[in-house]
C-alpha cells in the first residue's frame, strides 16, 4: 500500500514537472516572439527617423529658397522705386 502511494506521488510529481517544463517552454517562446516584435519596432522607428530627417532637410531648403525669393523681390522693389 505504501509503495503504491509513493508511486502515485511520484507520478503526480513527474506530471507537475512536465507541466512546468511545458509552461517554461511556452514562456520562452513568448519571450522570443516579444523580442522579435521589439526588433521589428526598432527597425520601423529607425526607418521613420530617416524619413523625418529627409522632411526636415526639405523644410530647411524650402525656407532658404523662400528667403532668397523674398530677398530678390525686395531688391527688385527697391530697384523699381529707384527708377
- The predicted-structure confidence for 14-67, as pLDDT tens digits, reads as follows 999 999 999 999 999 999 999 999 999 999 999 999 999 999 999 999 999 999
Cα–Cα distance, 83 to 77 (Å, whole number): 10
Query: Which of the four pLDDT bands, split at 50, 70 and 90, describes residue 81?
Result: confident
Predicted pLDDT at 59: 97
Per-residue model confidence (pLDDT) at position 27: 98
Q: How far apart are CA 23 and CA 63, in angstroms?
A: 59
**How many Å apart are CA 26 and CA 32, to the nearest integer?**
10
Q: Which cell numbers hold the place of 70?
A: 523674398
DSSP the chain: -HHHHHHHHHHHHHHHHHHHHHHHHHHHHHHHHHHHHHHHHHHHHHHHHHHHHHHHHHHHHHHHHHHHHHHHHHHHHHHHHH-
Given a cut of 80, whether residue 82 has pLDDT beyond it is no
Q: Which pLDDT value is given to residue 9? A: 96
- pTM of the predicted structure, to 2 decimals: 0.57
Amino acid at each position: 500500500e505504501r509503495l503504491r502511494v509513493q508511486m502515485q506521488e511520484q507520478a503526480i510529481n513527474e506530471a507537475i514537472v512536465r507541466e512546468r517544463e511545458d509552461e517554461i517552454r511556452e514562456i520562452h517562446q513568448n519571450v522570443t516572439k516579444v523580442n522579435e516584435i521589439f526588433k521589428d519596432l526598432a527597425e520601423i522607428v529607425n526607418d521613420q527617423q530617416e524619413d523625418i530627417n529627409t522632411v526636415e532637410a526639405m523644410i530647411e531648403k524650402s525656407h532658404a529658397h523662400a528667403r532668397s525669393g523674398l530677398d530678390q523681390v525686395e531688391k527688385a522693389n527697391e530697384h523699381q522705386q529707384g527708377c
